[in-house]
Chains A and B, each alone.
Chain A
Amino acid sequence: MDSDDDFNSSQMSDEDIMGDQDSDVSVEDGLPPAQSMDQDDVGFESQDKDIMPSKHAFDVDFTVYSPQQIQAYQDKQIEDVSSILGQPPEATAILLRHLRWNKERLIDQYMEKTEDILESAGLGETAQTHPPRLEKVAGFVCDICCEDDANQDTFAMKCEHRFCVDCYKQYLSTKIKDEGEAARIRCPGDGCNRVVDSKSLDLLVGEDIKDRYQVLLTRTYVDDKENLRWCPAPNCIYALQCGVKDKDLLQIVPTVHCECGHDFCFGCSLNDHQPAPCALVKKWLKKCEDDSETANWISANTKECPKCNSTIEKNGGCNHMTCRKCRNEFCWMCMGVWSEHGTSWYNCNRFEEKSGTEARDAQAKSRQSLERYLHYYNRYANHEQSAKLDKDIYLKTEKKMTALQTTTGMSWIEVQFLDAASQALQQCRQTLKWTYAFAYYLARNNATEIFEDNQKDLEMAVENLSEMFEKPIDQLQGLKVEMLDKTAYCTKRRIILLDDTAENLKSGNWEFNVSLS
Chain B
Amino acid sequence: MFASKRLGKELSKLQQNLPPGITLVEAENFSEWTMDIRVVDENPLYAGEIYRLKFSFSTSYPIEPPEVVFTQDDAHPIPWHPHIYSNGIICLDLLDRQGWSPVHNVESICISLQSMLTSNTKKERPPGDEDFVRYNKQRPRDISFVFHDNQV
Contact = CB atoms under 8 A, between A and B. Distances in A.
B131 to A, nearest CB: 14
Interface in A169-184: 170-171, 174, 178-179
Given A170-B2, A179-B97, A144 B103 contact: yes
Q: How large is the interface on A (under 10, 10 to 19, 20 to 34, 35 or more residues)?
A: 10 to 19
Interface stretch (B21-29, B36-44, B60-68, B72-80): B60-68
B104 interface: yes
Contacts of A190: 101, 103-104
Interface in B66-121: 97, 101-104
Given A145-B5, A145-B6, A146-B9, A174 B101 contact: no
A170 B5 CA distance: 14
Contacts of B97: 179
A189 B63 CA distance: 11
B103 A174 contact: no
B102 A171 contact: yes
B63 A174 contact: yes
A228 to B, nearest CB: 25
B102 A167 contact: yes
Given A144-B62, A170-B63, A174-B60, A188 B101 contact: yes
Interface in A154-171: 167, 170-171
Contacts, number: 37
Contacts of A179: 97
Contacts of A191: 101
A143 interface: yes
B101 A189 contact: yes
Contacts of A167: 63, 102
A175 to B, nearest CB: 8
A146 B62 CA distance: 11
A189 B99 CA distance: 11
Contacts of B62: 144
Interface string A180-214: 00000000111110000000000000000000000
A170 B63 CA distance: 7
Given A144-B6, A146-B6, A179-B97, A171 B63 contact: yes
A143 B5 CA distance: 13
A265 to B, nearest CB: 24
B50 to A, nearest CB: 28
Interface of A: 143-146, 167, 170-171, 174, 178-179, 188-192
Given A146-B9, A178-B60, 20 more contacts: A143-B103, A144-B6, A144-B62, A144-B102, A144-B103, A145-B2, A167-B63, A167-B102, A170-B2, A170-B60, A170-B63, A171-B102, A174-B63, A174-B64, A188-B101, A188-B103, A189-B101, A189-B103, A190-B103, A191-B101
Interface of B: 2, 5-6, 9-10, 60, 62-64, 97, 101-104
26 contacts: A143-B102, A144-B6, A144-B62, A144-B102, A144-B103, A145-B2, A145-B5, A145-B6, A145-B9, A146-B6, A146-B9, A146-B10, A167-B63, A167-B102, A170-B60, A170-B63, A174-B60, A174-B63, A174-B64, A179-B97, A188-B101, A188-B102, A189-B101, A190-B103, A190-B104, A191-B101
Identify the 5 closest CB pairs spanning chains A and B, nearest first: A190-B101, A146-B9, A174-B63, A144-B102, A143-B103
